[in-house]
Chains A and B, each alone.
Chain A
Amino acid sequence: MPEALRTRTWELLLAAVLVATVVYNATQSPVYLDVDNFVNLFHLSIEKVIVAIAMTFVIVNGEIDLSVASVMAFAAAVLASLHEGGAVPFAVAIVIALAAATGAGLLQGFIVAKTGLPSLVVTLAGLIAFRGAARVLVEDRSVGDFPDWFRSLGRDEILGPLPFAVILFFVGLVVGGIVLHRSTFGRVVYVIGDNPEVARYSGIDVARVKLTLFGLSGFVAGVAGVLFAARLGSVRANIAEGFELDIITMVLLGGVSIFGGSGSLLGVALSIFVVLNIRNGLGLANVEASVQTGVIGALLILSVLAQNLVDRALALSQHLQDKRGTT
């Protein structure tokens, strides 16, 4: 099956699962279709889904960024320790935190691009090191007492019922979709993910694209970390621990190949809605969060397994047809 067709089929399947989940949940719980519940749907995972947009670019490019959750904590810790120190205004502290997170991403991107080391290894080291940096900055304290405007940024609705982070997610989705699917840069990301050698011989500056994407991933993780701090109202060194696996799961469930070069942001958006709705529905049905995680894990494996089985069934029927044709 050609890649484009596979992606389309997968998107349709996800859409069907999404509709089924929404209909089922709506029959199960009367509050499910409320606008409040829709916002609530995003509320607990909004930082993860924002990072998932950048992660889509990285994985389509044939790389992976395991460090995102640690970079989130790192950005939040930079912000918190600057706020504690009190030397700079809070807005400046936010800018420095975002710059630090971008720097973290660029550093890893530089190592990946320059040494050709697998990003799995580099960002695994980054996962440990930036979590460590967060720990060095805030140690075992819980730093809070942020300005009121910052805390309201994390929780208050600014457009209808939508808080800032939810709006940012939808804006990011649209902008990300245009860049990935409608721009030259987006095509280049796919070409490199599909075959880095071919990309290099076509005169594409592969190292520079990778550097850009890891910088972007760090920046977006920084934004998510700062927003997480705003929503929680305080920062500890262990915030967002383990988020990287949830984020990667959402992207892969969206039909993005772990080997790079295929998948779409629409698929990832659908998979995000599916994951959020399943979690929300299971939550309303009083199913524990841990079991929800297990269900998502099973979905992840089944999603790829099902694609493989369909592929093999198609190949088999093709084979049988060919045989019938020759005899």
Chain B
Amino acid sequence: MIRPERLKELSLAAILVLTVLLFSLLVEDYISGRIFNRVTTSVVITAILAAAQTLVILTRNVDLSVGSIVGVTAYVTGDYLVGHPDTPALVAVGLAVLLGCGLGVVNGVLVAYGRVPAIVVTLGTLAIYRSWLIDHYGGRTITTDSLPPWVVEFPGRTLVSLGDLDLRAVFVIVVVIVALLQLALGRLRWGRRLYAIGSNPEAAVQAGLPRQRLVFGAFAASGALSGLAGFLFLSRFGTITVVAGQGLELDSVAAAVVGGVSILGGAGTLLGAFLGALLIDVLDQSLVRVEQVSEFWRNAILGTLILVAVVGDVTLGRWFRRRLSAQARPETAEVAQSTTVAVVGDA
């Protein structure tokens, strides 16, 4: 019997393939190295943020501050690199991740130990982090040419080239991170516990799970991943202003939700969220190439797609469950009967 989350991932992958096929009918020379290169370069930021968001949503919370964390880490790291161009790459990335983690820790403390609802906390820190950034750095802009060259060249780094198809290093790194996190989530105790507290917080606490520590950990991890996304943002765009990353929180929630992560917690996978991010990005990159569709249609189509995805998910899920229970009913009746017998026998 195939597990429901696998089914969701498979159907997402199928939709992704269908989307690509559809666009290849609409756009000439669509299937080429170029579209692959563009998608794999641009998806990395939302993919990491979707993973961050998923970790938090699994615990029945939400992190609306990821966009502001991306902005702060991208700008502060960029500013530091302008001042210290000799900084080793690992130190620079570490700085961004640590800074993001620190901001995530603030969220985590307030949600887990202050018992303030996540939407209230992260709505607040969304404003606070951003306003600190604007107040501290004002109208200054970090420009591409003031950054060390390796930062700006990083997104273009290619591991292998097959014809005009380039496998970007940054895409591989992000895929590896998501895969490792997915493994940890599925196999490690920490991961299974995140699902447990998300699907039934009371039962999880009754079972002795450290709910506060787990929620705190999810927010800290989300912050750290957002910090990494901040570094990727810096290296991809090079030109950074104080509004960098604004609105990314909604993109990350959208990717997770399209990817089948339940906003009510306890269900969904990082692989699903990754596919969600990929699907949104493919649409985004492809719609601009369809001549009949003007660029102004982008959000209208994207919003409709998300609605169709979530409504379809619920309706299909219900239909599927009804079918299953209809099939299973004769057996369940038998089982019920035999258990009754067993119980009676015991008595």
Contact = CB atoms under 8 A, between A and B. Distances in A.
Interface in B85-137: 110, 114-117, 119-121, 123-128, 130-132, 134-135
A249 B124 CA distance: 8
A245 B126 contact: yes
A301 B246 CA distance: 20
Contacts of A115: 311, 314-315
Interface stretch (B72-80, B266-274, B296-304): B296-304
A245 B127 contact: yes
Interface stretch (A123-131, A174-182, A192-200): A123-131
Contact of A249 (B123, B297, B306): B123
Nearest to B299: A132
Given A118-B264, A252-B120, A125 B128 contact: no
Nearest to B302: A128
A135 B263 contact: no
A300 B257 contact: no
B121 A125 contact: no
Given A118-B264, A136-B296, A301-B120, A129 B304 contact: yes
Interface stretch (A2-10, A144-152, A290-298): A290-298
Contacts of A121: 257, 263, 306, 310
A217 B91 CA distance: 49
Contacts of A124: 250, 253-254, 257, 306
A116 B303 contact: no
A298 B123 contact: no
B310 A301 contact: no
B307 interface: yes
A143 interface: no
Given A288-B135, A293-B130, A297-B131, A258 B299 contact: no
The residue in B294, B307, B310, B311 that gathers the most chain A C-beta atoms within 10 A of its C-beta is B307
A258 B118 CA distance: 10
B62 interface: yes
Contacts of B298: 132, 135
B127 A293 contact: yes
Given A129-B307, A290-B135, A291-B131, A300 B120 contact: yes
The residue in B116, B121, B125, B250 that gathers the most chain A C-beta atoms within 10 A of its C-beta is B116
Interface residues of B, number: 42
Given A115-B315, A301-B110, A301-B121, A139 B131 contact: no
B155 to A, nearest CB: 26
A120 B307 contact: no
Contacts of A132: 296-304
Given A120-B263, A124-B306, A294 B123 contact: no
B307 A122 contact: yes
A80 interface: no
Contacts of A249: 123-124, 127
Interface in B263-285: 263-264
Contacts of A235: none
Given A124-B253, A124-B254, A297-B125, A308 B314 contact: no
Contacts of A191: none
A121 B57 CA distance: 12
B124 A300 contact: yes
B120 A125 contact: no
Contact of B126 (A122, A136, A288, A297): A297
B308 to A, nearest CB: 9
A130 B314 contact: no
A116 B313 CA distance: 12
B128 A128 contact: no
A288 to B, nearest CB: 6
A139 B126 CA distance: 29
A129 B303 CA distance: 4
Contacts of B127: 245, 249, 293-294, 296-297, 300
A301 B125 contact: yes
Nearest to A292: B131
A1 interface: no
A152 to B, nearest CB: 31
A117 B311 contact: yes
Contacts of B135: 288, 290-291, 294
A99 interface: no
Contacts of A291: 131, 134-135
A128 B117 CA distance: 24
Interface string B238-263: 00000000000010011001000001
Given A129-B306, A297-B125, A300-B124, 6 more contacts: A116-B314, A125-B254, A125-B303, A132-B298, A245-B126, A304-B116
29 contacts: A64-B119, A117-B311, A120-B263, A121-B310, A128-B306, A129-B299, A129-B302, A129-B307, A132-B299, A132-B301, A135-B297, A136-B296, A136-B297, A140-B296, A248-B123, A249-B123, A249-B127, A252-B120, A258-B120, A288-B134, A292-B131, A293-B131, A294-B127, A294-B131, A297-B128, A297-B131, A300-B120, A300-B124, A304-B116
Interface of A: 64, 111, 115-118, 120-122, 124-133, 135-136, 139-140, 237, 245, 248-249, 252, 258-259, 288, 290-298, 300-301, 304-305, 308
